Chains A and B, each alone.
Chain A
Amino acid sequence: MAPWLWQRWRTERQRSKDLLARAQWLQAELENVRKQHERERSQAGERAVEQAFVRLFPTLDACDAASGQPGVGLLAAELGKALAAEGLGRIAPAEGASFDPRLHEAVQREARPAATGERHGLVVARCLRAGYTHRGRVLRPAMVHVLELTEATQ
């Protein structure tokens, strides 16, 4: 075979290899994008619900702030029940619960030595504002006042 022809054949072969690889890559990519699109579509409904919940947070906060007012407690409880039925979970850690940055956001801190029998570490002194979850996703962490129980020896 003439050298130029040989050369030509080699380039063409390489080119066809590259193109095949490229086509396979694109085909795979197309499949993946399609799958991702499916996933996103199935999640889109959930995201819409979450958006609606997020828009309600200011109102829920107002209900909590007004809970001392006559009638408001009842109203808030009804609202809460309806939302819970739709999957909205409330994060309102009790006093003494251990602080978890995955669920709680610390905005204040104080420290005191741990009393005998108390474990040292970070605990929730007070929940300042409730947080919310939806199917395990934290939509908003609870805002808490953290108490640090230092080791008694200090």
Chain B
Amino acid sequence: MSKIIGIDLGTSNSAAAVMMGGRPSIVPSAEGTSLGGKAFPSVVAFTKDGQLLVGEPARRQCVTNPEGTVLAAKRKMGSAHQYRIHGKTFTPQQVSAFLLQKIKRDAEASLGEPVSKAVITVPAYFNDNQRQATKDAGEIAGLEVVRIINEPTAAALAYGLDKTQDTRILVFDLGGGTLDVTILELGQGVFEVQSTSGDTQLGGTDMDNALVAWALAEFQRTEGVDVRSDPTALARVREAVERAKIELSTTLTTEVNIPFLHNDAKGPKHLQVPLSRAKLEELVRPIIERCRRPVEQALADAKLRPADVGHVVLVGGPTRMPVVQQFVEQLLGKKAERGVDPMECVALGAAIQAGVLGGEVKDLLLLDVTPLSLGIETLGGVCTKLIERNTTIPTRKGQVFSTAADFQTTVTVHVLQGERAMAKDNVSLGRFDLAGLPAAPRGIPQIEVSFDIDASGIVKVTARDLATKKEQSLTITAPQRLGDKEKQRMVDEAERFAEEDARLRELAEARNAADTLVYHAERTMVELADQLAKEDHDAVDGAVKELKALLAQPEPNASDLQKATERLQRVVGEAAAKVYAKQGAAQAQPGSEADAGPSRFDDQPEGFKARVRDPDEQQD
């Protein structure tokens, strides 16, 4: 079974992607990256000596051979246009086929296997003729075109929007030279084009030109020199402005700094001019404003108000600019989807479609994720997460816990689902007891709790005493059958209560630490009773009482607890040190009480810090 590649055959740039390990990944162009992305220019040329050039090399020789170079063949797809090149004629399909052949070669080189099938994207407004021509181009290039899909659909797929609830999606695709606005309606996983609009003479190039013009004017103003006719200077200005533009996506001010931009009889001249984000926005604002009409038109054609749009997807390099994002988001009153490179998302979406068609993404093996975290309740009402949300299933995770009280023979495993820190704020999926543990001091038994989630989302929770091998388990069928809304509510809630939850968790942890220390301190006092000096005994006793008093409070202050814990730790340490000094190092074994002493507390393995809640303990 060979791979099907996804191809974004663009007007000015093209890119391809393929599924790798279940995820789409861009096929690198053999000539390397040159556009700040992994795409390559959609340029084909024949030199006078009959050589065929595709991509970067074709673009670079364009000036020397304009009659032999074809740019933007996509605009002619499906028409009867013929390119006459050095006495030969080519159809737009044939020219596009040269681009596709290069993609095929690059993909084969990168995958190390032959590639014979592809999914190719076209603009939503392409008619049947244009789609057929695109298909033909593929066949000429030796690729079986298994499907032609719309560019906006591919972009939506790249964001996984096919898995959302039925909604309307506005795709804003601002490329180098064209703007396409498409409104898609998603119903039961199928995308339908509601309306399209756009401007074929509007794009990132216009913005770059505006910036270059500004920089040149600044140079002329300060140095009195016009470098418009100097190609070297122009290229340096263009690149410097491009860098400044990228920097201004993350910073508020930068400097366009080009030393020795011009040399003349009066000496060298440098361009050094600050550029703020505000200035940049002012310069490109007129161009961005031109995007307003097409968006409004698309909405009007689909008979929608901005509020009816469920998702906004941005495509194309210029949409990386914060000012463009803000403009679109303001216009629609909605945040745009984030996380996929806007220059790559069409190719990535095409690869996802190719994966589905090639059986790579089969329903049978479509791996799901757990929508919410899963965990158990531990001492102090804390929810200890074992499986974080968004973990791909099937999966298995286990952790070792211990008991919270001396001679505790039963533990209750309370299974929880949710993002909140405290057990009571999460959803309870069920509870079960593991009984018959051998009587032992608290913290000694080792109980492994493991979560097994199979591919269909069925969770099996098992508690196992590592000493006796006794085990008990609970199976929860489809615990995450939550609606998207409810899921979102729980995630939002976790965010909203993050601070309060952190405080509660901290308090619970402080309580647990204090409780453990009181336990050890009391044991130490009993075991060393006859060796402790009276004042040490009283000091420890006083500190223990103080801490116990704090613990008895319904909601003590966490930092008070910590301070009292530290005080107790100190006096116990001092008392124990005196005893051992008196005994002499060689005389007596330190004994288990020293091992279990407070100073060792922090060295205990992670699993022991959290304890399975004692069923006898009072519920709060």
Partners in one complex: yes
Which A residues are closer than 8 A to B by beta carbons?
Answer: 18, 22, 25-26, 29-30, 32-33, 36, 57-58, 61-62, 65-66, 68-69, 99, 101-102, 104-109, 121-122, 128-129, 137-139, 141, 143, 145-146, 148
Query: Can you list 12 A-B pairs, Cβ within 8 angstroms, ordered by A?
Result: A22-B364, A32-B20, A33-B20, A58-B240, A58-B258, A102-B31, A106-B64, A107-B231, A109-B63, A128-B232, A129-B232, A137-B32
When A33-B21, A121-B49 are in contact, do A146 and B64 touch as well, CB less than 8 Å?
Answer: yes
A residues near B56, Cβ cutoff 8 Å: 141
- Nearest-neighbour CB distance to chain B for A12, whole angstroms, equals 14
A25 touches which of B1, B57, B63, B260 (Cβ 8 Å): B1
Q: Within 8 Å of chain A (Cβ to Cβ): is B362?
A: yes
B residues near A141, Cβ cutoff 8 Å: 56, 60
When A58-B236, A62-B259 are in contact, do A101 and B57 touch as well, CB less than 8 Å?
Answer: yes
When A36-B20, A101-B60, A106-B60 are in contact, do A66 and B236 touch as well, CB less than 8 Å?
Answer: no
Is the Cβ of B21 less than 8 Å from the Cβ of A104? no
Given the complex of chains A and B, what is the CA–CA distance between A138 and B33 in angstroms? 9
A-B interface, 5 closest residue pairs, ranked by CB to CB distance from nearest: A65-B260, A33-B21, A101-B61, A101-B57, A105-B60
Please name the residue on chain A nearest to B66 by beta carbon: A109
Is the Cβ of B21 less than 8 Å from the Cβ of A30? yes
A residues near B239, Cβ cutoff 8 Å: 57-58
When A58-B258, A66-B259 are in contact, do A106 and B62 touch as well, CB less than 8 Å?
Answer: yes
Given the complex of chains A and B, what is the CA–CA distance between A32 and B243 in angstroms? 36
Measured as residues with beta carbon below 8 angstroms from the partner, the interface class of chain B is 35 or more
Given the complex of chains A and B, what is the CA–CA distance between A68 and B268 in angstroms? 9
A residues near B243, Cβ cutoff 8 Å: 58
Please name the residue on chain A nearest to B63 by beta carbon: A106
When A62-B258, A128-B231 are in contact, do A106 and B20 touch as well, CB less than 8 Å?
Answer: no
B residues near A61, Cβ cutoff 8 Å: 236
Is the Cβ of B60 less than 8 Å from the Cβ of A104? yes
Given the complex of chains A and B, what is the CA–CA distance between A29 and B360 in angstroms? 10
A-B contacts at CB below 8 angstroms, number:
86
Q: Which of B59-95 contact A (CB under 8 A)?
A: 59-64
Please name the residue on chain B nearest to A150 by beta carbon: B48
Q: Which of B188-221 contact A (CB under 8 A)?
A: none
- Nearest-neighbour CB distance to chain B for A71, whole angstroms, equals 13
Q: Within 8 Å of chain A (Cβ to Cβ): is B604?
A: no
B residues near A143, Cβ cutoff 8 Å: 231-232, 235
A22 touches which of B31, B60, B63, B362 (Cβ 8 Å): B362
Extra inter-chain contacts (19) besides given A65-B259, A101-B60, A106-B63, CB under 8 Å? A29-B21, A33-B20, A33-B21, A58-B236, A65-B232, A65-B260, A66-B268, A99-B61, A101-B53, A106-B64, A107-B235, A108-B231, A122-B47, A129-B236, A137-B32, A139-B32, A141-B56, A143-B231, A148-B64
B residues near A121, Cβ cutoff 8 Å: 48-49
- Nearest-neighbour CB distance to chain B for A58, whole angstroms, equals 7
B residues near A18, Cβ cutoff 8 Å: 364
Q: Which of B21-51 contact A (CB under 8 A)?
A: 21-22, 31-32, 47-49
- Nearest-neighbour CB distance to chain B for A63, whole angstroms, equals 8
Please name the residue on chain A nearest to B25 by beta carbon: A36
Please name the residue on chain A nearest to B257 by beta carbon: A58
- Nearest-neighbour CB distance to chain B for A69, whole angstroms, equals 7
Given the complex of chains A and B, what is the CA–CA distance between A32 and B18 in angstroms? 13
A residues near B57, Cβ cutoff 8 Å: 101-102
Given the complex of chains A and B, what is the CA–CA distance between A58 and B237 in angstroms? 10
Is the Cβ of B240 less than 8 Å from the Cβ of A69? no
Q: Within 8 Å of chain A (Cβ to Cβ): is B552?
A: no
- Nearest-neighbour CB distance to chain A for B357, whole angstroms, equals 15
A residues near B263, Cβ cutoff 8 Å: 65, 68
B residues near A109, Cβ cutoff 8 Å: 63-64
- Nearest-neighbour CB distance to chain B for A121, whole angstroms, equals 7
Is the Cβ of A101 less than 8 Å from the Cβ of B58? yes
A residues near B31, Cβ cutoff 8 Å: 102, 138
Q: Within 8 Å of chain A (Cβ to Cβ): is B365?
A: yes
B residues near A102, Cβ cutoff 8 Å: 31, 57
- Nearest-neighbour CB distance to chain B for A85, whole angstroms, equals 22
Given the complex of chains A and B, what is the CA–CA distance between A42 and B62 in angstroms? 35
A residues near B232, Cβ cutoff 8 Å: 65, 128-129, 143
Q: Within 8 Å of chain A (Cβ to Cβ): is B434?
A: no
Given the complex of chains A and B, what is the CA–CA distance between A18 and B59 in angstroms? 47
In this complex, the member of A30, A61, A66, A68 whose beta carbon has the largest number of chain B beta carbons within 10 angstroms is: A61
Q: Which of B313-332 contact A (CB under 8 A)?
A: none
Is the Cβ of A62 less than 8 Å from the Cβ of B260? yes
Given the complex of chains A and B, what is the CA–CA distance between A146 and B46 in angstroms? 17
Q: Within 8 Å of chain A (Cβ to Cβ): is B284?
A: no
Please name the residue on chain B nearest to A25 by beta carbon: B1
B residues near A104, Cβ cutoff 8 Å: 60
Given the complex of chains A and B, what is the CA–CA distance between A69 and B268 in angstroms? 9
Please name the residue on chain A nearest to B233 by beta carbon: A65
Q: Within 8 Å of chain A (Cβ to Cβ): is B476?
A: no
B residues near A146, Cβ cutoff 8 Å: 63-64
- Nearest-neighbour CB distance to chain B for A38, whole angstroms, equals 13
B residues near A36, Cβ cutoff 8 Å: 20
Q: Within 8 Å of chain A (Cβ to Cβ): is B261?
A: yes
Given the complex of chains A and B, what is the CA–CA distance between A145 and B63 in angstroms? 10
- Nearest-neighbour CB distance to chain A for B16, whole angstroms, equals 16
Please name the residue on chain B nearest to A102 by beta carbon: B57
A residues near B59, Cβ cutoff 8 Å: 105
Given the complex of chains A and B, what is the CA–CA distance between A124 and B239 in angstroms? 23
- Nearest-neighbour CB distance to chain B for A105, whole angstroms, equals 4
Given the complex of chains A and B, what is the CA–CA distance between A102 and B258 in angstroms? 27
Please name the residue on chain B nearest to A64 by beta carbon: B260
Q: Which of B222-266 contact A (CB under 8 A)?
A: 231-232, 235-236, 239-240, 243, 258-261, 263
B residues near A108, Cβ cutoff 8 Å: 63, 231
- Nearest-neighbour CB distance to chain B for A117, whole angstroms, equals 19
- Nearest-neighbour CB distance to chain B for A120, whole angstroms, equals 9
Given the complex of chains A and B, what is the CA–CA distance between A36 and B22 in angstroms? 14
- Nearest-neighbour CB distance to chain B for A24, whole angstroms, equals 10
- Nearest-neighbour CB distance to chain B for A113, whole angstroms, equals 15
A residues near B236, Cβ cutoff 8 Å: 58, 61, 129
Given the complex of chains A and B, what is the CA–CA distance between A26 and B261 in angstroms? 56
Given the complex of chains A and B, what is the CA–CA distance between A139 and B232 in angstroms? 17
Given the complex of chains A and B, what is the CA–CA distance between A105 and B263 in angstroms? 23
B residues near A137, Cβ cutoff 8 Å: 32
Given the complex of chains A and B, what is the CA–CA distance between A97 and B93 in angstroms? 35
A residues near B32, Cβ cutoff 8 Å: 137-139
Given the complex of chains A and B, what is the CA–CA distance between A62 and B239 in angstroms? 13
Please name the residue on chain B nearest to A23 by beta carbon: B365
Please name the residue on chain A nearest to B231 by beta carbon: A107
B residues near A139, Cβ cutoff 8 Å: 32
- Nearest-neighbour CB distance to chain A for B13, whole angstroms, equals 17
When A32-B20, A128-B231, A143-B232 are in contact, do A66 and B60 touch as well, CB less than 8 Å?
Answer: no
Given the complex of chains A and B, what is the CA–CA distance between A128 and B233 in angstroms? 9
B residues near A26, Cβ cutoff 8 Å: 365
